[in-house]
Chains A and B, each alone.
Chain A
Amino acid sequence: MRNAFAKDLVDLARIDKSIFLITGDLGFSVLEPFATEFPDRFLNIGIAEQNMTGVAAGLAKEGYTVFTYSIGNFPTLRCMEQIRYDVCYHNLNVKIIAVGAGYAYGPLGVSHHTTEDLGMLRTIPNLTVASPSDPFEVSAITKMFVETNGPCYMRLNKTGESKLHGSVPDLSGNEPLKLCAGTEKLVLGTGAIVQEAIKVAKEKGWELWSFPIVSPMGKKWITDDLLRFKEIISIEEHQLNSGFGSAVLEVINDVYFSRKLTKYPNIRRVGIPNIFLGFSGSQEYLRNKAQLSLLL
């Protein structure tokens, strides 16, 4: 995913001269092509994420489309107030990119587990929150970020993800994208965990939709057609509190309350049960420990 992002950003920056990239001293073997081709629009600002976000706000105030880049919690939780106040309140054109979503950096420890970002960031007004499941979604989101005037956030897994879509999908309306058709159960997923969910869904004959945009979430997908499934399961590599599944419940509830859904569907949420996993482990191992499985 991060390579798709880095390549797309170079392509976009060739056309759009306002694109500026700031890294908090990360991006070795990823960001060099951008840095080499656009040295005047690249800045390694050092290991100082509060400053990175404030400087990005300043550059954006003067017309730049500024991407900030770092690992997981550093360009996000570390500088939440700069994101909330400097970037989002002033509605500035800053795009925050975090690598290492969920347990992508599993063995590195809790400092590098990005498991609260969606919940914390999706509460902030003006901010678009994106969580792609494959490199094609990354490309669609990166392009959308450049075309959208305003603050955006994207969590990237790492590398080596399969392509789940046949081509770069259309993200209009922030609606979910159907990855496989099926019956009985409908799986709603976001992020790289969808790569695992699709295997189970295909095996079981269940339907699966991916949500590249978590916030603001589209609502057109919520119709009585959902009632043909006995169960809806949300899955995310994120704490259950306030995450993707919570967002799904919120919008379904809102639509149900407005009488556009005649019956409340059965919904089960799969996510990290609000715990830290302090031991070492691969992404797969930690996902299992957190019981991130569609199967009961």
Chain B
Amino acid sequence: MSQEKKEEKKVSRRSYLKYAGAGVVVVAVAGVGGYYATLPAPAPPTPSSTTVPVTTAPVTTAPVTTASMTPTYTLKAFDPRFQSWLEGTATELEDLFSQATIDWTQAKGQTVKLICMTDHMIDPLLDLVPIFQAHTGITVIPDRYAETELRDKTYMDLMTGTGLYDVVYTGDEMVNAFAKPHVIEDISPMLKDTSVTDTKFTDPSDVMNLDPCRYLAEYGGDNDIYMWPISAHSTILNWHKAKLAENGLSGPPETFDQLMDYASKCKRSDKGYYGFCMRGKRGQGTNMYLWPAFLWGFGGRFFDEKYVPQLDKPEAIQATKFYADILINYGPPGTADYDFSEDLTETAQGKVAMSIDDPVLSAWLFDPTRSTTVGEWWFGTHPGGPAGWFPAEASWDFAISTKSKAKTASWLLLQFWASVPSLSYTHMTTYHAANRKSCLDNPGYKQEFAKYNNLADVYAKSIAKASPTYRPKIPEWKAVGDTMGAYLSSAIAGEISAEAANKGMQTDVYAIMEKAGYYK
């Protein structure tokens, strides 16, 4: 390019300033405009406190009709197979709304932003949102993540006080971790407040697993409820009747010794299946979901009264040894990396004779889109050790952030989702076992679960037996559980012995607890 043209191409200072200034103005205007455009609609004036002083006698109110709001909505099931169920559920919910004991429009115009999982249980809940929005005028905005990312984001949002979400979806093992620093709302006062709690929708006595959602006094809490469960989970033994019969066995094993014996007899490389399978992948929600059953079963415990870990005791070592041995000797290769999905794959494809996992897995064995062995599985309670049997305890729950500016709206949403029709629809369509007693008596639910052999019966027994302190409900559980899970995974991979694994657990967990100030 010639020198003259280069001179012409140079931008003069005036031109630069003109264009730069124009650019800044445009960006500023766009930014301000965008900010106001995305602002939620102003909320109606709310009382200074969402709680009302508890009265000594319950105040009865006349049913509130929602005639001022004409509920119109379009329903579309996440799976077309369930469209008729969804419509039936809508009818049941309309019936409940017609008998409402509170004003469901009291938070009209508010928005509830929630973080939840991409897992299947959220799909039917979101199916029902149009009904809720039509009756309440509340907008629901879900943000969905896979489990690991959900846990991380929830933890970050609550602990840093960001306040991005009004409602979070979390496991009950986190109740103390969140309740202690007061980052989630105490639901108990709301339960007693008859202006915000509809007794037609919400009945605490009907929920089977409310205790694990309390911030227990033994952990320094007030025993109040801080989370609302929509599912109850435990651990169940899945056993393949035909495969066990093929090896001269009948009925499920009931003790650890029997389990090991059955697994050894059922490992049949000539037939193309293994004896037993369960989670081996490291993590407080993966292998640490199952391992405590063996710890308690052998008579061990996590901590003593002063929170000093007891993981190097013979019972704890025995639990690790049993867990590793049964998987190394009789499980599929690579179980050290097995999560729920690998367990499901092996079980549903009939590659194992027995497995232990969540009842969700058990129910999915009857889903023809997931299982090639539909109807072939039966179920037993978790085998026990010398100290008894200890099925896992867990639940997925909703909690309200203390930073939420829509707490009443959030509580209304939780009540709606935890109602009998909503939960029945949710659990029927996702092959879950429900956590409300009334659901178990729901005719549609009963009819559906009768197809799953003896699952409903075994599930009810397991939930009744499950203890809220199955895993320590300390705020440090995430760190403790993940640390222990890494050692257990190493033992399952054959990298270290059970003794070395438990010694490592003891040292590292002690360091975590010491850093957290338990030994001052």
Q: Do A and B come from one complex?
A: no
Give me the interface of B with A, judged by CB distance under 8 Å: none
